[in-house]
């Protein structure tokens, strides 16, 4: 495995072995000194063409726990703004000695394109509406841990609710959850569904309330306020009334059901109830597991089996 570009490239066995490795990384992260020397001397460069302090910080923390060197290439102040092409930027930074690029870009497919211009490993940290594979892996890990489903998600019922159309998280999660065996239902107003769902192994519903009692996982997506300006949503208030998680809806979930969200949350819109009050909320577990999953991904791409030596300390 050289790159991580899309969940499509991962077999169920690949996902399993990344999640197994994540178990190790969770153990490393729980130590008094949560570091191993596994990637010492490796250079991991973040290249975020869209701001996301949250995701960038998670990768940064993961790389540091493995003793890699990290560098944030601030696109805003870079030659990209002097008209340099993406290709020249990549080739130039790459020539300084880079082992992995973590890339976020507004264009679907940009990380894939970048693989042609460098020998470094490429990790897709979100490209347009297309993919966000480490989010899918951390979501799988969180469900696996939260519902104690180590081997498969067979029979699990998961609803993904919100702006499916514009969401790389939804696309990645649908692929990962169904590869693991889960049954996924998309819940959204028709304007926020993709024009065609051909090839999506999902059901669609516009009625969240009737689904609630049977769900194992309720996955809420962030609703962007921009969607209203684009007339895709009549009002946030109406969205909230039909699809927001209120205390009433939360009460209708099964006791074991998990509530998830990729963050940042819009409180009062898709998240009306305070998630701190929900026993089933694993939203902060997602964040914590995100670091461990990214450690597993970085180690898989850049490490070698004997390097891990998780008994070693820095």
82 is a contact residue toward its own copies (CB under 8 A): yes
16, 22, 42, 55: which one is catalytic? 55
74 is a contact residue toward its own copies (CB under 8 A): yes
91 is a contact residue toward its own copies (CB under 8 A): yes
Which among 119, 133, 141 has a CA at the least distance from the CA of 23? 141
Q: Which residues contact 116 (CB under 8 A, 6 or more apart)?
A: none
Residue 40 annotated in active site: no
The stretch among 11-19, 86-94, 198-206, 210-218 that binds its own copies (CB under 8 A) is: 86-94
Residue 132 annotated in active site: yes
For its own copies, the closer of residues 46 and 178 by Cβ is: 46
Which among 76, 86, 118 has a CA at the least distance from the CA of 100? 118
The stretch among 73-81, 130-138, 193-201, 208-216 that binds its own copies (CB under 8 A) is: 73-81
54, 106, 150, 225: which one is catalytic? 54
Q: Which residues contact 80 (CB under 8 A, 6 or more apart)?
A: 49, 86, 89
The stretch among 58-66, 167-175, 182-190, 236-244 that binds its own copies (CB under 8 A) is: 58-66
Residue 165 annotated in active site: no
Give the binding-site size for its own copies (rule: CB under 8 A): 49
203 is a contact residue toward its own copies (CB under 8 A): no
Which among 35, 66, 21, 102 has a CA at the least distance from the CA of 289? 21
104, 165, 168, 222: which one is catalytic? 104
Q: Which residues contact 112 (CB under 8 A, 6 or more apart)?
A: 5, 6, 122, 124, 127
> What is the rounded distance in angstroms from the CA atom of residue 235 to the CA atom of residue 266?
14
284 is a contact residue toward its own copies (CB under 8 A): yes
Question: 122 near 100, Cβ under 8 Å?
Answer: yes
Residue 22 annotated in active site: no
Site for its own copies in 12-51 (CB under 8 A): 29, 31-35, 40-41, 43, 51
**Residue choice 58, 121, 135, 178 for contact with its own copies (CB under 8 A):** 58
Residue 82 annotated in active site: yes
Site for its own copies in 206-245 (CB under 8 A): 225
> Which residues here bind its own copies, judged by CB under 8 A?
29, 31-35, 40-41, 43, 51, 53-54, 57-58, 60-61, 64, 69, 71, 73-74, 77-79, 82-85, 88-89, 91-93, 95-97, 225, 263-267, 284-285, 287-288, 290-291, 314
Catalytic positions are 54-55, 82, 104, 132
């Amino acid at each position: 495995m050289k790159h991580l570009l899309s969940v499509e490239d991962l077999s169920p066995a690949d996902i399993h072995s990344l999640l197994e490795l994540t178990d190790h990384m969770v153990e490393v992260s729980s130590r008094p000194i949560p570091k191993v020397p596994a990637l010492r001397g490796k250079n991991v460069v973040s290249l975020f063409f869209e701001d996301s302090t949250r995701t960038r910080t998670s990768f940064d923390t993961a790389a540091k726990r493995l003793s890699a060197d990290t560098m944030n290439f601030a696109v805003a102040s870079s030659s990209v703004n002097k008209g340099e092409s993406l290709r020249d930027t990549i080739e130039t930074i790459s020539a300084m000695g880079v082992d992995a690029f973590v890339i976020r870009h507004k264009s679907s497919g940009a990380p894939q394109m970048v693989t042609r211009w460098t020998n470094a490993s490429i990790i897709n940290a979100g490209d347009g509406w297309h993919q966000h594979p480490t989010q899918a892996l951390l979501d799988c890990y969180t469900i696996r841990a939260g519902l104690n489903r180590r081997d498969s998600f067979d029979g699990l019922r998961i609803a993904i609710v919100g702006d499916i159309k514009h969401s790389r998280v939804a696309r990645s999660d649908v692929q990962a959850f169904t590869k693991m065996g889960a049954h996924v239902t998309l819940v959204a107003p028709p304007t926020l569904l993709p024009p065609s769902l051909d090839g999506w192994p999902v059901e669609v519903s516009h009625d969240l309330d009737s689904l609630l009692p049977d769900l194992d996982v309720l996955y809420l997506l962030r609703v962007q306020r921009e969607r209203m300006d684009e007339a895709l949503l009549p009002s946030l208030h109406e969205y909230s009334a039909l699809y927001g998680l209120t205390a009433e809806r939360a009460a209708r979930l099964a006791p074991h059901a998990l509530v998830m969200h990729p963050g940042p949350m819009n409180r009062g819109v898709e998240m009306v109830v305070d998630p701190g009050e929900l026993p089933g909320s694993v939203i902060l577990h997602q964040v914590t597991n995100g670091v461990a999953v990214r450690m597993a991904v970085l180690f898989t791409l850049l490490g070698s089996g004997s390097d891990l030596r998780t008994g070693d300390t820095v």
